[in-house]
Amino acid sequence: MNVLSSIASAVSDIVGPSDQEVVAAPSARHRSTAVIVGSGEGAIQVGGGAPIVVQSMTNTDTADIAGTVAQVAALSRAGSEMVRITVDRDEAAAAVPHIRDRLAKIGCFVPLIGDFHYIGHKLLADHPACAEALAKYRINPGNVGFKDKKDLQFGTIIEKAIEYGKAVRIGANWGSLDQDLLTNLMDENAKSANPKDMGAVTREAMLQSALLSAARAEEMGLGKDRIILSAKVSAVQQLVAVYKMLAARSSYAIHLGLTEAGMGSKGIVASAAALGVLLQEGIGDTIRVSLTPEPNGDRTVEVKVAQEILQTMGFRTFVPLVAACPGCGRTTSTVFQELARDIQNHIRDEMPNWKTRYPGVETLNVAVMGCIVNGPGESKHADIGISLPGTGETPAAPVFIDGKKALTLRGANIADEFKVLVADYIERRFGAAAQSAAE
């Protein structure tokens, strides 16, 4: 064996398997029963191998019809495929059919989910138009009723779901567990020869609450293809543990979400960490990122974060990706930062229109780089990319299209000229494809 062969062999022993073997692929999706939520133009499938669905929730007073319609429409436009609204009192329940009708008039057919607590059974019985207008009912078995009234009130909601052909999410929550069930499990655990810690007992209580409620709903006649389960916790490791148990013990469609995730970067990081682990394990059919918005903040941020989690992990594609360097001492100019922001915002704003005009545009990759170190290389990997001049560099910006240098921009209008090039590229590549398909 010559020296080069010896070196190659040694490197192979150190490196180990090929890149293809090393890169972890997502686990096979958890086998779940398909649930159709909604009907007609707005119907969407959750589970059964369908793409993972993004959903969100309003924070308006549902009795405020105009305000709720505006927020639901904004969430839908941002990409929320189902929207949950609070139905907590008579005025809110009475508003629901009007909200549905006003949304339909503006061409928004997103399925509406009614979030019920404590008196959901009464509201659905007293407001049949609300029961009919909603696409799905959300029930928390921990607060649907207490003591002797629990089964009766839960049963009333299930009966309405059967009567109107609606789906139901049975969602156990760490903060509002069935106290009788939890107490019984705690007592049993205390008598055990090998007692578990409180966290393990609480997780078991959550699972039993959801699974026993689902079994009860099926006994009453609600099909498995109408049931979605969730088990929400606010601690990442606890959430991962409880959802792994839920997936192992059932084949219901699963709603994922870290409850009370928090505000800003904390909420985004916690949600991405928890949901990322579970999605990689093949668990989850629909997700919601429960972010606390800034005062008067943009509610659609939670939709964008949910989409970005799915797209970053390679599960779905929603919007073109813009790669941009973080900046350093070589990039004291803010031009590349402003351009990356403007391109990303422009893409997000235009996507609702582009989806119909340019099929496939969501797969586009754009690079906006700040200097010559990694700029040309990253730009070549993108569909269209620009490498802006850094500190002390020649004031020229090469543009790469489909991996090849196409031209160099110079002068004070580099940013505006690149935006035009991006628009032209989209029209040429995706507009032509749309035209060919139409012919």
Predicted local distance difference test score (pLDDT) of residue 433: 67
Place of tokens 């057919």: 109
Q: Does the pLDDT of residue 240 top 60, yes or no?
A: yes
The CB-side HSE value for 32 (13 A sphere, CA atoms) comes to: 31
Let me know: does 137 contact 120? Beta carbons within 8 Å: yes
Predicted local distance difference test score (pLDDT) of residue 86: 98
Predicted local distance difference test score (pLDDT) of residue 335: 75
- Over the stretch 292-337, which tens digit does the pLDDT of each residue have? 888 888 999 999 999 999 999 999 999 888 888 887 877 756 777 8
Q: Does the pLDDT of residue 345 top 70, yes or no?
A: yes
Rounded mean pLDDT of 109-123?
95
**Local structure of 256: helix, strand or coil:** strand
81 Cβ partners below 8 Å, 6+ apart? 44, 53, 54, 55, 110, 111
Q: Does the pLDDT of residue 382 top 50, yes or no?
A: yes
Predicted local distance difference test score (pLDDT) of residue 11: 41
What does DSSP assign to residue 333? -
- b or e along 53-69 (b: 16 or more beta carbons within 10 Å of the residue's beta carbon)? bbbbbbebbbbbbeebb
Which three-class secondary structure string do you get for 166-214?
CEEEEEEEHHHCCHHHHHHHHHHHHHCCCCCCHHHHHHHHHHHHHHHHH
DSSP string for 258-305: -TT-EEHHHHHHHHHHHHHHHHHTT--SEE---EEPPTT--TTHHHHH
- Ranges 94-98, 174-178, 192-196: which has the least confidence: 174-178
DSSP β-bridge partners for residue 162? none
Predicted local distance difference test score (pLDDT) of residue 436: 63
Predicted local distance difference test score (pLDDT) of residue 12: 47
More confident of the two residues 10 and 367: 367
Predicted local distance difference test score (pLDDT) of residue 193: 86
Q: Does the pLDDT of residue 106 top 90, yes or no?
A: yes
Q: Does the pLDDT of residue 178 top 70, yes or no?
A: yes
Q: What average pLDDT is seen over the chain?
A: 88
Predicted local distance difference test score (pLDDT) of residue 174: 78
Predicted local distance difference test score (pLDDT) of residue 378: 84
Q: DSSP strand E in 325-373: where?
A: 365-369
Read off the pLDDT band of 195 (50, 70, 90): confident
Rounded mean pLDDT of 189-213?
88
Rounded mean pLDDT of 125-140?
97
Predicted local distance difference test score (pLDDT) of residue 191: 84
Predicted local distance difference test score (pLDDT) of residue 146: 64
Q: Does the pLDDT of residue 403 top 50, yes or no?
A: yes
Predicted local distance difference test score (pLDDT) of residue 10: 45
Q: Global pTM?
A: 0.86
- Ranges 143-147, 265-269, 373-377, 388-392: which has the least confidence: 143-147
